[in-house]
A = this chain, B = another copy of it.
Amino acid sequence: MNPHQYGLILAGGRGTRFWPRSRKRSAKQVLDVAGERSLIQATVARLAPVIPPQRMWILTNEYLRRTIIRQLPEVPQNQVLAEPLQRNTAPAIGLAAHILRSLDPDAVMGVFPSDHVVGKPAAYRAVLKAALKAAAAGNLMVVGIQPRWPETGYGYIEFPRGTKPGAEALPVRRFHEKPELPNARRYLAAGNFYWNSGMFFWRADVLLDQLRRHLPKTASVLASLPRFGSRRFATALKQAFPLCENISIDYAVLEKAAHVSGVAARDFGWNDVGSWNAVYELLPRDACGNVTASSSICLDAHNNFVDARGKVVALLGVRDLIVVDTPDALLVAARDDAQRVGEVVKALEKLERHDLL
């Protein structure tokens, strides 16, 4: 293992589409929605053979920091940082790059979402290694995944025509946001459009150079911070962080940089677990297509998803439902509306039901 390789896991999101299980203090990434471990635990475990937990850094918020420290005892506590307030990915990644470069001038960092699932971890790690290697050589690296269907919920990376899956450092022609279905179909047919996995790899100093060029205000705010680990760091961060631009690294850097490269990866069982319906698709189903605890009773019930802990659920004559029960809130939704669960959270915010957020 290259001792200059570091991981940054972005774990500041809320995952409102996983309400009522996801709350401010128990966001999607710390939930065990798709297995026995939480999504962030699975993320760290999957990365560990390439980037050991001792070199893993996690950016989250004050609501989740303690839970994450508890779930990940193998990650040093002082590497689990809470952002003073929610900003988009550019300031968070910039902050981590700033710290890592100060600790190791040759730091190469991989940036990972905390809440995705990978079905083929060995294939995944091969991609990781390729991306880290290209990043160490000075490239801004992204990872595209060969699409399996015309998904409208993902962004796409356009590689040169004729790109074959498996290529390890191709120039990126363009980034495309989540497409409408006709475009998604076109991308799939074209063959050189890959799902954007949301992972980034680069040397910390290379990223800081890019920030200075494309996001100079944030870059100078970060440059003004005292040494990480010094007594003044936390207070200074609290004052400085709100001055950073609220912008994603995609908009701030990747779409503006002269050269971005990418791995055109064969699918490694990647799933961004975007909704309860994605969890339904991931988990094993019974003969009637239901995903439920074994103690459930299903009578003429088909293709339903149930998450209810410590409770028997009886489904009678219903199909294509999502049923998620918690001690203080219950969701019953059509599976087709899984993407809209965040609207429930918005309605609760309007009603000032902070107890349920």
A137 at the interface (CB under 8 A from B): no
Inter-subunit contact A312/B353 (CB<8 Å): yes
Q: Which of A305-357 contact B (CB under 8 A)?
A: 308, 310-318, 321, 323, 325, 327-334, 336-337, 340-341, 343-344, 347-348, 353, 356
A299 at the interface (CB under 8 A from B): yes
How far apart are A275's CB and chain B's nearest CB, in angstroms? 12
A20 at the interface (CB under 8 A from B): yes
Inter-subunit contact B332/A321 (CB<8 Å): yes
Complex alpha-carbon distance, A191 and B24, angstroms: 63
Q: Name the B residues within 8 Å of A334 (CB-CB).
A: 316-318
A300 at the interface (CB under 8 A from B): yes
Inter-subunit contact A337/B300 (CB<8 Å): yes
A189 at the interface (CB under 8 A from B): no
Q: A interface, how many residues as a size bin?
A: 35 or more
Q: Which residue of B lies closest to A356 (CB)?
A: B312
Residue among A308, A314, A334 facing the most chain B CB atoms (10 A cut-off): A314
Can you tell how many copies of this chain the complex includes? 2
Q: Which residue of B lies closest to A296 (CB)?
A: B330
Q: Name the B residues within 8 Å of A321 (CB-CB).
A: 318, 321, 332
Inter-subunit contact B299/A318 (CB<8 Å): no
Complex alpha-carbon distance, A341 and B343, angstroms: 31
Complex alpha-carbon distance, A329 and B323, angstroms: 13
Inter-subunit contact B332/A299 (CB<8 Å): no
A 106-131 binary contact with B (CB < 8 Å = 1; else 0) = 00000000000000000000000000
Complex alpha-carbon distance, A348 and B316, angstroms: 13
How far apart are A226's CB and chain B's nearest CB, in angstroms? 45
Contacts A299-B340, A344-B299 given: A323-B332 contact, CB under 8 Å? yes
Inter-subunit contact A315/B332 (CB<8 Å): yes
Q: Name the B residues within 8 Å of A332 (CB-CB).
A: 313-316, 318, 321, 323, 332
Inter-subunit contact B297/A348 (CB<8 Å): yes
Q: Name the B residues within 8 Å of A317 (CB-CB).
A: 333-334, 336-337, 340
Contacts A317-B334, A334-B318, A337-B317 given: A329-B344 contact, CB under 8 Å? no
- Give A contacts to B, CB under 8 Å: 19-20, 297, 299-300, 308, 310-318, 321, 323, 325, 327-334, 336-337, 340-341, 343-344, 347-348, 353, 356
- A-B pairs with beta carbons under 8 Å apart, 29 shown: A299-B340, A299-B343, A299-B347, A310-B328, A311-B329, A312-B330, A312-B348, A313-B330, A313-B331, A314-B329, A314-B330, A314-B332, A314-B333, A315-B333, A316-B331, A316-B332, A316-B334, A316-B340, A316-B341, A316-B343, A316-B344, A317-B333, A318-B333, A318-B334, A321-B332, A323-B330, A323-B332, A325-B330, A332-B332
